[in-house]
Amino acid sequence: MQDVIIVGAGPCGLSAAIECERLGLNTLVIEKYNVVHSIFLYPTNMQFFSTAELLEIGNLPFPSPNEKPFRHEALAYYRRAAEHYKLNIQPYTEATGIERHENGTFSLHTVNRQGQQHTYEARKVIISTGYFDHPNYLGIPGEDLDKVTHYFREAHPYTGMRVAIIGGSNSAVDAALEIVRVGAKVDMVYRGNDLSANIKSWVRPIFESLVMKGKIALHLNARVTEIHDSEVELTHNDGKIEMLHNDFVLAMTGFRPDRKLITSMGVTMSDDMDKPRFDPDTMETNIEGLYVAGVIASGRNANEVFIETGRRHGALIAKHIVANS
């Protein structure tokens, strides 16, 4: 019987495990892939918006020569944090179900890569699953073509190609900048009349300069409404239809948290079924002993919770568990 089982070994899940262990709680982390899998899925050359200090967990310094660290630095840092605190992590194990018993304890059902099933017992459970497994699909014809992806890793495969990027966020802008550098022709399509106001301040001038020079064709107030083998169909807000020659489509439309475990437990959701209800002082849901940490606590906009804020959830939870033990 574990004191605490944490589902998810992202930065916020690792932080929760560290805080629980610090207070003497026996902790097990269940992870579908490996530590910080969501960061592994970031673009290869991605630079964080936050400083290294704001990404730290467990008061473990994050050394970086850069004010804002890169993906590879974060992967190394969180691996080191897990090793430093000797966290008990069960990787490549998916949590498939959870149930609460009359005595208040929990059973967590899992399956590993070999298909072997196992059930773990715990007094408390923290759900800290991420969201990169679940992209926001457009729901348009042609989205299932091989030329379409919701994940951008690196620019090289798009050398000399005509690429449509759907979206107006940091991920879309970053992808556009990298792809242009390898000689691709970029059409960026966004339904709004301007890009997100949250675009990194040091990136926006570079992007706007490339638009002015014609290196990136920016299509505002427009949507991709159909994808073909060699074209994409744009529908402008005024109803005009435009066809663009195209080789690849990057749908940078964001992701959503997986709430399957918490909804199956009967966690109360917001009126639009988009956000779990929990006590912000303890992160405990309406199910006694079941907590949320990290992006799972956000609403439809996953950017409500960043690493720099979600990393603090673990301390609130650990303190509450010990105080009520």
Give whichever of 75-84, 134-143, 296-305 has the largest mean pLDDT: 75-84
Long-range contacts of 199-208 (CB under 8 A, 24+ apart): 199/169, 199/170, 199/173, 200/49, 200/170, 200/173, 203/170, 203/173, 203/174, 203/177, 204/173, 206/177, 207/173, 207/176, 207/177
79 pLDDT above the threshold of 80: yes
Q: Which residue has the higher pLDDT, 201 or 221?
A: 221
Tokens of 205: 């001038």
Closest alpha carbon to 7 in 272, 278, 236, 295: 295
pLDDT tens digits, one per residue of 63-74? 999 888 999 999
Mean pLDDT calculated for residue range 196-201:
78
Report how far residue 163's alpha carbon sits from residue 22's, in angstroms, rounded to the nearest whole number: 49
pLDDT, position 257: 74
183 pLDDT above the threshold of 70: yes
Under 8 Å between Cβ of 219 and 203: no
Q: Average pLDDT over the chain, rounded to whole? A: 90
209 pLDDT above the threshold of 80: yes
Residue 181 CA: distances (Å) to CA of 47, 124, 202, 246 = 17, 49, 17, 18
Mean pLDDT calculated for residue range 99-106:
93
271 pLDDT above the threshold of 80: no
Mean pLDDT calculated for residue range 143-151:
94
**Which domains does the chain possess?**
2-133+255-323 (3.50.50.60), 148-251 (3.50.50.60)
pLDDT, position 272: 60
Determine the straight-line distance between the first and last CA of the chain, rounded to whole angstroms: 15
Q: Which residues contact 31 (CB under 8 A, 6 or more apart)?
A: 8, 9, 13, 37, 89, 90, 91, 92, 93
Cβ neighbours, 10 Å, residue 64: 18
pLDDT tens digits, one per residue of 13-63? 999 999 999 999 999 999 999 999 989 988 888 888 888 898 999 999 999
103 pLDDT above the threshold of 80: yes
pLDDT, position 11: 93
pLDDT, position 50: 83
Residues forming beta bridges with residue 276, ordered by sequence position: 269
Confidence of residue 136 (pLDDT cuts 50, 70, 90): confident
Confidence of residue 169 (pLDDT cuts 50, 70, 90): confident
251 pLDDT above the threshold of 80: yes
Q: Which residues contact 109 (CB under 8 A, 6 or more apart)?
A: 95, 96, 97, 98, 99, 117, 118, 119
pLDDT, position 301: 57
